Structure 1
Amino acid sequence: MSHPPLRCYAGKVMHQRHGDLDHRLTYQVFTLCLTLSQSKEASKRLPFFSHNGFNLFSLHDKDHMEKGYDSLPVFVHDMLVQGEALTPYDPAPARIDMLAYPRFLGKAFNPLTIFICYDEDDQPIAILYQVRNTFKERHHYAVRLSEPGSERENHWQHGCEKRFHVSPFMSMEGRYDFDITLPDERFAITIRQSHQNTPRLTAIFTGKQIPLTGWKLLFLAAQYCQGGWKILGAIHWEALKLWWKGAPFHKKPKRPDRPVTPAFENTAFSTHTKGDGK
């Protein structure tokens, strides 16, 4: 199916902690989905959006890759190979869609950026999850896609061990389970952290695609004022509330030696319905 080079998904993000300490947050947010190979076209079509340039809203390759790489698609491909989602002999993805919070007036912070990769037949072949923390570190989880994870089209389920420190109020123990519906008219992702089959955290984003025009971008700017300062402020505000509630503090461990951790499709996906917002 043909899509515009830049799409917008407006919706709600929800985090729910499980266990002795109950804590829930909900924010209205929007994310952009950019087809990297068509970024110039997206910049030309929308007056208040730029790729790798200053504007009201913008997406910058350098925000999502390490130094030493020629381009973001090259970086994504290398992470997929290192994460065993592709082999060195597989062709590079023919299309990469990036879902991320844009810079607003030059500032952005992305706790999670998702790269969805397609082959020449426009079939999804791999996903790269890029996770960032407030210590200016990032890590990746990579998965190779084979068959949809359920009877629903464009719906996938996979999991991996947690390898990256995100919050000082959440331990490193356990695993992540991902449940993602690839972006079309809607986009949804649920990430569950659990330890020994006990749920620890559920994070959900659900969004609906909205038409993008220059006027719509101005409306989004006024409605959300969604910049890096606001996202970081919300993260620290929620951390303060957790501290006030007596959440145990976990010292930051050494960052992983490898920049990417392999994830694998689940044959028996474990769902936890308690507090998942459904």
Structure 2
Amino acid sequence: MSIAPDETRTEQAIKTPAIATPARYDVQITHRRREPLDYRFTNRSQTWLVDLDALPQLPRFARGLCRFDGRDHLSGARRTIRANLDDWLADAGQLRPARVLMLAQPRVLGYVFNPLTVFYCYDRQGRAMYVVAEVANTYGGRQCYLLHPDEAGRAQVDKDFYVSPFNPIDGGYEMLVPQPGPRLTVTVTLRRPGALPFTAAMTGARAPSAPLWSALTRPLLSRATMFQIKRHGITLYIRGLRPTTRTKETGNVTHTR
């Protein structure tokens, strides 16, 4: 579900500068929970910006060690990520973009977990068309949201997918997804009437160089992300927070296991 774009803005799409890929960003990730208790944590990580039509690859004999794999995004079909995204966009009634940049971690040593993957979509003139935000939870589910950000990169969308077991499906997301450049900013804020109970932010700087093999220097990065999420969940439980009763999701949910 998405907020419809402004018609004037659609005709005057934002012209974006050429963005070189692949690029690695060294980032700081911050989670801030305000209700029903105040809790915050920050950790450092890395993420990659890659062109879906020109994905970086290791030599053939080493590709099993590190790669971007179609199984890890959208429908999880054993095809390219671009083919899976094109199918999702067609189902959503959207024109096929000429170029798509994906912000995500690669699968390293057979494992990957991307809590949030961002697809920046452009037309043939290099203008931003829309953004697809793919959210994943620790239960193996994935959900995509179609966003039409304004010139500052802000967009709003209804929430219809379980992420944290401590938050029910209600309210909406306010996302900040400006075009990536030397600096990267991605922010997701959960909104409810009169309240902002949760915010997650990822900010960082582009690394000077980004050969894909450098992901192998931190092979446990995705596993560390999953470990941190579960560790902080246990901390919240100890402090008295309890999981909500789950009901059926209402969006386009893909379960990967």
**Which TM class, normalised by the smaller chain length?**
0.7 to 0.9
Give the match for residue 112 of structure 1: 116
The one-character-per-residue Cα deviations of 1:105-151 (angstroms, maximum 9, x if unpaired) are 22111111111110001111011111111111111100235x51xxx
Q: 1:241 to 1:203 in 2, by over 3 A?
A: same
**Matched residues in 2 for 1:197 and 1:71: separation?**
42
One-letter amino acid matched to 2:75: E
TM-score between both structures, scaled by the size of structure 2 = 0.83
Residue of 183, 198, 201 corresponding to 1:201: 198
Q: What pairs up with 1:127-146 in 2 under 5 angstroms? A: 127-145=131-149
**Matched residues in 1 for 2:235 and 2:61: separation?**
35
Give the match for residue 71 of structure 1: 80
Q: 1:239 to 1:165 in 2, by over 3 A?
A: same
Give the match for residue 270 of structure 1: none
The question of whether the paired residues in 2 share the 8 Å contact of 1:43 and 1:49 is answered with no
Give the match for residue 71 of structure 2: 62
Give the match for residue 241 of structure 2: 247
Give the match for residue 28 of structure 2: 12
**Over the residues paired in the alignment, what is the CA RMSD in angstroms?**
2.5
Unpaired runs of 5+ in structure 2? 1-16
Give the match for residue 209 of structure 2: 212
Q: Percent identity?
A: 25
Give the match for residue 105 of structure 2: 101
Give the match for residue 49 of structure 2: 33
**Matched residues in 1 for 2:184 and 2:42: separation?**
17
Alpha-carbon distance, 1:64 to partner:
0.7
**Matched residues in 2 for 1:172 and 1:65: separation?**
20
One-letter amino acid matched to 1:166: V
Q: 1:179 to 1:207 in 2, by over 3 A?
A: same
Q: 1:20 to 1:66 in 2, by over 3 A?
A: closer
TM-score between both structures, scaled by the size of structure 1 = 0.77
The question of whether the paired residues in 2 share the 8 Å contact of 1:103 and 1:227 is answered with no
One-letter amino acid matched to 2:80: S
**Matched residues in 2 for 1:144 and 1:175: separation?**
15
Alpha-carbon distance, 1:100 to partner:
0.6
**Matched residues in 1 for 2:46 and 2:210: separation?**
15
Alpha-carbon distance, 1:175 to partner:
0.9
State the number of aligned residues: 238
Give the match for residue 179 of structure 1: 176
**Matched residues in 1 for 2:226 and 2:197: separation?**
22
**Matched residues in 2 for 1:202 and 1:27: separation?**
14
One-letter amino acid matched to 2:122: Y
Q: 1:112 to 1:67 in 2, by over 3 A?
A: closer
Q: 1:99 to 1:68 in 2, by over 3 A?
A: closer
